[in-house]
Amino acid sequence: MENKTEGRKQLLIIGGGYAGFWSAISAIRQSREIKKTDELEVTLINPDNYFTMRPRLYEVSLEGLQVELDKYLKPLGINQILGKAETIIPEKREVTVSTAKGIRHLQYDYLVLATGSSLRALNLPGIETTFNNDTFNNALDLENHIIKLAKNNFSNEGDTTFVVAGAGFTGLESVTSIEDKAKAMQAKYSTKESKFRVVLVEKHDVVASFYAAQGQQYIIDTLKVKNVEVITGSHVVYVEPSAVLLSDGTRIPTSTVIWTAGMVASPLTYFFKGVKDSLNRVSVDGYLKLPGYDNVIVAGDVANVKVGNDQSATMSCQFSQFQGRWAGHNAVNDLFGFPLKEYKQPGYTTCLDLGTDYALITEGWDRVTRQTGQEAKATKAWVSTDLIYPSVDVEEAVAASFPAIPNF
């Protein structure tokens, strides 16, 4: 068995997204605070060297959306394993990881599970030919596909039509940015100009009903302004190579279907006892600890965490990045017998990008409109380019990893 060095306690963190990254940094900060750095070894497992800014993957450009993990992990003495955790055996405190060099078996004294979420796998004919903005590589596939269409002057039937399936947050952000993305590729790679058609397909009878009336109307009006064709009360049933078939019999010729519907937590949650919610998440207590285990914390999209008004935190970086700060802090304190800090994040905001000139900021669980238009756009830009990134200065990031919610 690996990683049992010099009797140091082993903190193993699986996942290098918002929750996992901040867990690792916060663990280092807290181990310094309680003067236990010599007794602790922190290891982070992630398939690649990137902390990906997932909330930005729908954007026109993919530049700057990945932060290199080793720039933080190396100077802080955190072990990095590039690999995918395949199995967890809680009774043996063991994680099996597949890496480029083969399978590794790691032992832990304390585990932080932070493996996030992904699009739900669907048994839909042709789903494998669709695109999505779920991971960096998938967003890159979409970009390369559009470049290919652009180089061919979007000349085949359906090349100029983009169909977005699902009108949740990701669907709305994708559908209002895809034309600008196509135009950007056209300007770079085409020799003639094409006109684009953008279609949003939503199975509910109305779009954006999860917003209060004012926000919903703003979204509906914005979709109109942006010439997005909205089809409600219908869903995709078949994806052909150059068309999509809807449940109401409509057939839309298209070379590009962007799938955005249905998120689900990482399947690693199934290695633990306990009920999972409809999103596959495990319920944790007020300290992010997994009931029934004395050495497991779960944070981010894999955790069902109660926040203000007895609501569960949504799968969002808004919650994940702060849960990460609590996770690292509490894992270290629990390992060394110090008191845990209760996780509290009562506020809830949504920052929805609706493409050039349009955005919507809401507050509270009723999603009441606070900002629209350019004002909202400026807020969203600040969130996307500043708030969700760690400082480039490693020690500043360490200081920012203290578990507290800043007063924005």
Ligand X SMILES: Cc1cc2nc3c(=O)[nH]c(=O)nc-3n(C[C@H](O)[C@H](O)[C@H](O)COP(=O)(O)OP(=O)(O)OC[C@H]3O[C@@H](n4cnc5c(N)ncnc54)[C@H](O)[C@@H]3O)c2cc1C
Binding interface with ligand X (CB under 6 A): 14-20, 45-47, 52, 54-55, 57-58, 84-85, 114-117, 133-134, 169-170, 173, 266, 268, 300-301, 315-318, 320, 351
Number of CB atoms found within 10 A of residue 192's CB:
8
What is the nearest approach in angstroms of ligand X to the Cβ of residue 220? Answer: 19
Burial of 178 (0-12, 13-18, 19+ CB in 10 A): buried
User: What Cα–Cα distance (Å) separates residue 248 from each residue in 130, 202, 237, 326?
Assistant: 20, 12, 9, 47
What is the nearest approach in angstroms of ligand X to the Cβ of residue 224? Answer: 22
Cβ distance to ligand X smaller for residue 43 or 254 = 43
Q: Which residues contact 383 (CB under 8 A, 6 or more apart)?
A: 351
Cβ distance to ligand X smaller for residue 7 or 102 = 102
Which residues are bridge partners to 103 per DSSP?
A: 98
Q: Residue 120 and residue 116: Cα distance in Å, rounded?
A: 12
Cβ distance to ligand X smaller for residue 223 or 265 = 265
What is the nearest approach in angstroms of ligand X to the Cβ of residue 153? Answer: 28
What is the nearest approach in angstroms of ligand X to the Cβ of residue 66? Answer: 10
User: What Cα–Cα distance (Å) separates residue 256 from each residue in 129, 159, 297?
Assistant: 9, 7, 40
What is the nearest approach in angstroms of ligand X to the Cβ of residue 260? Answer: 7
Cβ distance to ligand X smaller for residue 28 or 243 = 28
Rounded to 5°, the CA angle 378-178-385 comes to: 30
Cβ distance to ligand X smaller for residue 17 or 158 = 17
Which residues are bridge partners to 362 per DSSP?
A: 350, 369
What is the nearest approach in angstroms of ligand X to the Cβ of residue 391? Answer: 18
Q: Report residue 118: phi and psi, to 5°.
A: -155, 175
Token code pair at residue 238:
């078949």
Residue nearest to ligand X (CB): 17
Cβ distance to ligand X smaller for residue 280 or 320 = 320
Q: Report residue 336: phi and psi, to 5°.
A: -110, 15
Cβ distance to ligand X smaller for residue 182 or 268 = 268
Q: Residue 222 and residue 217: Cα distance in Å, rounded?
A: 8
What is the nearest approach in angstroms of ligand X to the Cβ of residue 240? Answer: 25
